[in-house]
Amino acid sequence: MENLNIHKTAVVDRAAKLSPGVSVGPYSIIDGGVTIGDNVRIGAHCVITGQTTIGRNCKIYTGAVIGSAPQDRKFSADDNVFLNIGENNIIREYVTMNPGTLEGGSKTVVGNDNLIMAYSHVAHDCVIGNNCVMANAATLAGHVTLEDSAVVGGLSAVHQFVRVGRLSIVGGCSKVVQDIPPFSMSDGHPAQVHGLNLVGLRRAHFMKETIKSLKHAFKILFFSGLAKTHALEQIVSEIPSSPEIEHLVFFAKTSERGLCS
């Protein structure tokens, strides 16, 4: 416990692995299967449990419950499942995150530099990339994927097995039941695509030519009236290849739940 700042009312299992610089606030509980990296700050009344790993420099605020059992009827207390959280994440008040399930691959994975705002929920077997934002009370059902730099608006719910593409933004209070394409702006109940996430693309310093190509691709894919297969063929034949166009086409081709309309 050297170089640690643990409040006298906190309960830390001796089997827990805490790195230098970790601080634990009043009345928080750290169970034995937990591993916490350098300089992680844990606020008051938090519970960190299960086989949970937290990378360095994360900040976890009051009342968060991290690593509690999946809300899945098939889960057994004997299942060997994990929650892996990367570095530099901000996890705000009363966030809940669950580990994976045996059926889903046994892991829930959260990348680096994410902002998970108050009351949000990350269910079992989710995969969150890097630089994502979940606004207040956003909810991910099981097996959801957020690609890098995706934003999910407050009070929005994402259906199980849905993917939210890279640099897309989902408006607040949306009901997301199909895949959200990369680089898109979506909103509604159910969510629908309204065009490119131009603000996000410019903030990410995308070149004008890349944005122009994506605008053309979106016009073909969502506003031409073509079936998805034919639209993708037209995109490939008409628009010069780039990593962004290739990712959009691959995402659309591999969609199992279908793209938001």
Q: Is 179 a catalytic residue?
A: no
Q: Quick: pLDDT tens for 191-205.
A: 999 999 999 999 999
Select which of 33, 55, 111, 124 is catalytic: 124
Confidence of residue 3 (pLDDT cuts 50, 70, 90): confident
Q: Quick: pLDDT tens for 222-236.
A: 999 999 999 999 999
Select which of 31, 125, 148, 187 is catalytic: 125
pLDDT of 139 strictly over 80 = yes
Percentage above 90 pLDDT, the chain: 98
Q: Is 7 a catalytic residue?
A: no
What is the per-residue pLDDT for 261? Answer: 86
Q: Write the secondary structure of the chain as one string of H (helix), E (strand) and C (coil).
A: CCCCEECCCCEECCCCEECCCCEECCCCEECCCCEECCCCEECCCCEECCEEEECCCCEECCCCEECCCCCCCCCCCCCCCEEEECCCCEECCCCEECCCCCCCCCEEEECCCCEECCCCEECCCCEECCCCEECCCCEECCCCEECCCCEECCCCEECCCCEECCCCEECCCCEECCEECCCEEEEECCEEEEEECHHHHHHCCCCHHHHHHHHHHHHHHHHCCCCHHHHHHHHHHHCCCCHHHHHHHHHHHCCCCCECC
Confidence of residue 1 (pLDDT cuts 50, 70, 90): low
Domains and their CATH numbers in the chain = 5-143 (2.160.10.10), 202-253 (1.20.1180.10)
Q: Quick: pLDDT tens for 169-186.
A: 999 999 999 999 999 999
Q: Quick: pLDDT tens for 242-253.
A: 999 999 999 999
- The pTM of the full predicted model, rounded to 2 decimals, is 0.96
Q: Quick: pLDDT tens for 12-28.
A: 999 999 999 999 999 99
Select which of 142, 153, 165, 200 is catalytic: 142
